[in-house]
Amino acid sequence: MLPELKIAQLRYFVLVAELKSFHAAARQAFRTQPAISLAVRELEQKLGQALVEKGGGRVELTPFGEHCLPLFRGLIEHHDRIAREATLLARHEIGQVSIATVPSVASRLLPGPLARFVAEHPNVQVSIQDGTAESVQQLLTKGQVDFGISSLWMEDEQIEFMPIAHDQVGVVCRADHPLVQVGGALHWSQLQGLPMIGNGTSRLLEGTDAACLLEHSRLFVSNMISLIAMLEEGVGISTLPYLAFPLENEKLAFLPLAAPKVERQIGMLTRKGRSLSPAAGALMAFLQAQWPSAE
């Protein structure tokens, strides 16, 4: 059975070996000389071999002690490196965080707060995967990300959902569309008979008075870039949450849908019963402080 070596005893032996004196080692370690002598003696007993030559005023190492000295130095350095890294991880000063989010959050809500977090934690690496609300939830369930920021695709007993924002759904069309000339918020009946382009967020209309509009949609586009291109060409109109609307696009207009008023709830998604790493927990708490709760 291997002896259990205490780091403190190894440190004291290395000090004695380097300073060639129990007295000097005790002074540098802020311990008494008998305490240092006892630590070295106990280490020798565990190993079953003498490390220090007996007698004489100046400390000399035995051949066994000479052989062990670099080994003990390496062990102490390894211990200190691990202890240092574990401490930094616990203080979330270093670490890796992986999050998944829908593109609208990644482009509209995340940049400012994430830039501040990275500036305050320069040694924390953050990776972001964006996708649909369904894919965000799947990545989280499979444990491939630390947490997600999205609407809840479907109820899941394994997922904890903490609301952070409400996002109103509106109608998106060309800026020169007749609907824009009407002005004000829209009633769903004003959209009847207009060519509708479905997209990944169209499910938000399900269960509302506007659900019948989806039945007459003949085109479904899941990719946002392709959807924007179709809308710019006037192929039809669509519905999108406000955060998903490209504000910089002057060719398109966003018109709030007042009746029915449809919203998606954006929130933090975590796995129930699973703790976050210190770095992930720090990032999540930081983001929650930036965004008022949507409860």
Domain holding 216, by residue range, is 100-294
Same-domain check for residues 54 and 159: no
Whole-number Å distance between alpha carbons of 160 and 251? 39
Same-domain check for residues 55 and 137: no
Same-domain check for residues 109 and 218: yes
Same-domain check for residues 57 and 159: no
pLDDT above 60: residue 197: yes
Same-domain check for residues 257 and 134: yes
1: in domain: no
pLDDT above 60: residue 130: yes
Count the domains in the chain: 2
Phi first, then psi, for residue 269 (nearest 5°) are: -110, 130
Same-domain check for residues 87 and 109: no
More confident residue, 155 or 271: 271
Out of 7-16, 34-43, 91-100, pick the least confident. Answer: 91-100
Instruction: Give the pLDDT mean for 121-129.
Output: 91
More confident residue, 17 or 1: 17
2: in domain: no
- Tell me: cis bond preceding 260? Omega within 30 of 0 counts: yes
Task: Give the angle 281-287-290 at the CA atoms, nearest 5°.
Answer: 145
Q: Which of 34, 58, 91 is the last residue of a domain?
A: 91
Out of 65-69, 90-94, 99-103, 244-248, pick the least confident. Answer: 90-94
Same-domain check for residues 147 and 185: yes
Look up residue 38 and give its two tokens: 């006892």
Whole-number Å distance between alpha carbons of 40 and 22? 10
More confident residue, 216 or 289: 289
**DSSP-derived secondary structure for the chain:** ------HHHHHHHHHHHHHT-HHHHHHHHTS-HHHHHHHHHHHHHHHTS-SB-SSSSS--B-HHHHHHHHHHHHHHHHHHHHHHHHHHHHTTSSEEEEEEE-HHHHHHTSHHHHHHHHHH-TTEEEEEEE--HHHHHHHHHTTSSSEEEE--SS--TTEEEEEEEEEEEEEEEETTSHHHHH-SPEEGGGGTTS-BEE-TTGGGGTTSGGGHHHHT--EE---HHHHHHHHHTTS-BEEEEGGGS-TT-TTEEEEEEEETT-EEEEEEEEETT-PPPHHHHHHHHHHHHHS----
> For the chain, what is the mean pLDDT?
90
* pLDDT per residue as tens digits for the range 5-29: 999 999 999 999 999 999 999 999 9
Spatial contact of 199 and 221, defined as CB atoms under 8 Å apart: yes
Same-domain check for residues 282 and 170: yes
Confidence (pTM): 0.69
Look up residue 14 and give its two tokens: 């290395």
User: Residue 11: its pLDDT value, please?
Assistant: 93
Residues above pLDDT 90, as percent of the chain? 67
* pLDDT per residue as tens digits for the range 164-187: 989 999 999 999 999 998 877 899
Instruction: Give the pLDDT mean for 86-101.
Output: 82
Q: What is the CATH number of the domain that holds 46?
A: 1.10.10.10
pLDDT above 80: residue 229: yes
